[in-house]
Amino acid sequence: MRFLLLLTVAGMLAAQTPYTLLIKGGHVIDPKNGRSAKLDVALQGSRIAKVAANIPAGQAARVANAEGLYVVPGLIDIHAHVYAGTGVKALTGDSSVYPDGFSFRSGVTTLVDAGSSGWRNFEDFRQRVIDRAQTRVLAFVNIVGNGMSPAGEDDNAEMQAAQAAAIAKKHKDIVVGFKTAHYAGEGWPSIDGAIAAARAADTPIMVDFGYLTLDRNLRTLLGDKMRAGDIYTHCYSGHRGELGEDGKVNQAFVTGRKRGVIFDVGHGGGSFYWNIASPITEQGFWPDSISTDLHTGSMNAGMKDMTNVMSKLLTLGAPLEEVIRMSTWNPAKQIKRPELGNLDEGAEADITVLQLEQGKFGFIDSAGASRTGTRRLTAELTIRAGKIVWDLNGRAATDWKSFKYQKRAAKP
């Protein structure tokens, strides 16, 4: 009888707290599902259980106060460099960063490495970094065998589409496409090689166009070479004639967009300038996705982090809902991971809670020039697979006066 009573009480308690975590009182922005309203988000373990208004706090074992904040899908940064730890003085090493130290504090739950490794060293990258990270790390594989190594990315003999495609197929849970970058040679071998690999593996490519010649220009790249769904990163760099001498957006951009080419920010250390981004966006040409080009140089210069780059788009005049779309659902679709970047009930609980500060803030571009903005986004709370991995102001924490501290065992 006593045993049955205990089971009944346990069942009643479970019924009262069906959720492990409740994010309460925030304004949900979920572009995939067309949500932009004050709603609560309830989690059960690693999954989103319910998104609705006025979910009772008593139904959750833990409550995070999101009053006055924005609750959005976990941010997706599709251009980062995280192949750290090799000891090499390049993006295949010292210039990359370990993901967990820089993702969660800026609201990012998914990082996509953009070609730091190639088909020769991707498996080292996977075992060294990807499989050990709490952050979800995906990757574009460089068409050059050793990726962004000190040897550079100009050796045509290292651009092996078949080997690159084989790596992508073997690691299809991680690889989302192919990257070509920094090419300074003649012709189109890096672009053609990346596209050949992408066709074989059914993925997009990401292009950091490198250097222009008379033959290598945006008109041919965006009007002929790149396909619908391929991604042109560094769209506000100005290094490749993105803005014409007449102050007009390059017509190749317009042509590329009509053909379905994707345009990505890729801020980096040298690819976002106010005097390029401002006139281009004033003409209505906004990016499809926001990304950082995270590495040791960019994070300590003008770029800072994902929320800083998002704030720059706000400063340029983009609506908040669109900035969230460019940082969540759009990149999820671009990398063909539609299970990410949304707050579907049943989806893995990758969630970011953002503070939109009002005031006077300075934002620095890649040249070191500043511009004043009145709104700044910061990450208050980051949840990865249902686990709180960043809580800036203790919104999901228990007050210390009622917290049950564990006693430390005395040393023998």
Q: What percent of the chain has pLDDT over 90?
A: 92
Q: Is residue 97's pLDDT more than 50? A: yes
Average pLDDT, the chain: 95
Q: What is the pLDDT of residues 152-174, one digit of tens each?
A: 999 999 999 999 999 999 999 99
Q: Do strands 35-38 and 108-118 pair parallel, antiparallel, or not at all (unpaired)?
A: unpaired
Q: Is the confidence at residue 52, as pLDDT, over 80?
A: yes
**pTM across the whole model:** 0.95
**307 vs 245: CA distance, rounded Å:** 31
Categorize the per-residue pLDDT at 108 as very low, low, confident or very high, splitting at 50, 70 and 90.
very high
What is the crossing angle of helices 274-282 and 306-316, to 10°? 50
CB neighbours of 245 closer than 8 A, spacing ≥ 6? Answer: none
Give me the pLDDT at residue 16, please. Answer: 64
Q: Which CATH superfamily is domain 74-353 in?
A: Metal-dependent hydrolases (3.20.20.140)
Check whether 2 has a pLDDT greater than 70.
no
Predicted local distance difference test score (pLDDT) of residue 217: 94
Instruction: Identify the pLDDT of residue 13.
Output: 45
| C-alpha of 268 from chain center | 13
- Domain residue spans of the chain: 74-353
Looking at residue 10, what is its pLDDT?
A: 43
CA distance 198 to 252: 22
Mean pLDDT of the region 189-215: 94
Rama region for 45: left / alpha / beta (φ>0; ψ in -120 to 50; rest): left
The pLDDT of 76-83, averaged and rounded, is 98
Q: pLDDT tens-digit profile of 355-412?
A: 999 999 999 999 999 999 999 999 999 999 999 999 999 999 999 999 999 887 767 6
What's the whole-number mean pLDDT along residues 66-85?
98
User: What is the C-alpha separation between 119 and 294, in angstroms, rounded?
Assistant: 21
The whole-number pLDDT of residue 409 equals: 74
| Average pLDDT rounded to a whole number, residues 327-347 | 98
Quote the pLDDT of residue 385. 98
Which tens digits make up the pLDDT trace of 273-305? Answer: 999 999 999 999 999 999 999 999 999 999 999
Strand order in the sheet with 136-142: 75-80, 108-118, 136-142, 175-181, 205-208, 231-232, 262-263
Q: What is the mean pLDDT of residues 16-28?
A: 93
